[in-house]
């Protein structure tokens, strides 16, 4: 069973950030293991590839299935689903991240945070 910190929603009224408008750079949460602050950088979800986000194709496939992102391939907010993996600097616990990214206007991105979950050690 995966421990989810943020769960997807189809009905988030507003993006977590709109680039160019919001100054918030990161989503910050407490590590489930050691309580250290862990940061997810919003900008790293745009114009990056899986390698930049430290995630493999297999892990992306797993997350697509886990989050029920079907053949249409849209995120819960209707954007592009972006997956990544970040870790706690203190205890090295890994977290999968899931954001929905869309570009309703040229170069203005809406980013919805849709999922964060602890990757449990085997
Ligand atoms: Zn930690």
User: In terms of residue numbers, what domain contains 12?
Assistant: 4-118
Instruction: At 100, give phi and psi (nearest 5°).
Output: -110, 130
Are 19 and 44 in contact by the 8 Å Cβ rule? The answer is no
- Give CA–CA dist 94/96, Å, rounded: 7
Are 63 and 75 in contact by the 8 Å Cβ rule? The answer is no
Are 105 and 72 in contact by the 8 Å Cβ rule? The answer is no
**Total of domains in the chain:** 1
Measured in Å, residue 73 CA sits from the centre of ligand 1 at 31
pLDDT, one tens digit for every residue, the chain (122 residues): 569 999 999 999 999 999 999 999 999 999 999 999 999 999 999 989 999 999 999 999 999 999 999 778 999 999 999 999 999 999 999 999 999 999 998 889 999 999 999 998 75
Read off the DSSP letter of residue 4. E
Measured in Å, residue 94 CA sits from the centre of ligand 1 at 8
Given this model, what pLDDT does residue 2 score? 65
Q: What is the pTM of this model?
A: 0.94
Measured in Å, residue 103 CA sits from the centre of ligand 1 at 33
Given this model, what pLDDT does residue 120 score? 84
- Give CA–CA dist 76/17, Å, rounded: 16
Given this model, what pLDDT does residue 122 score? 59
Measured in Å, residue 37 CA sits from the centre of ligand 1 at 8
Under 8 Å CB-to-CB from 55, ≥6 apart: which residues? 83, 84, 85, 96
Measured in Å, residue 89 CA sits from the centre of ligand 1 at 7
């Amino acid at each position: 069973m995966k421990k989810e910190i943020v769960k997807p929603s189809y009905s988030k009224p507003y993006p977590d950030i709109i680039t160019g408008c919001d100054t918030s750079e990161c989503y910050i949460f407490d590590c489930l293991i050691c309580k250290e602050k862990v940061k997810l950088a919003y900008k790293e979800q745009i114009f990056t590839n899986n390698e930049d986000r430290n995630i493999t194709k297999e892990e992306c496939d797993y997350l697509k299935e886990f989050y029920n992102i079907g053949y249409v391939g849209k995120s819960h907010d209707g954007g592009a689903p972006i997956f990544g993996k970040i870790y706690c600097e203190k205890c090295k616990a890994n977290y999968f991240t899931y954001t929905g990214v869309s570009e309703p206007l040229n170069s203005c991105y809406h980013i919805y945070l849709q999922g964060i979950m602890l990757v449990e050690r085997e």
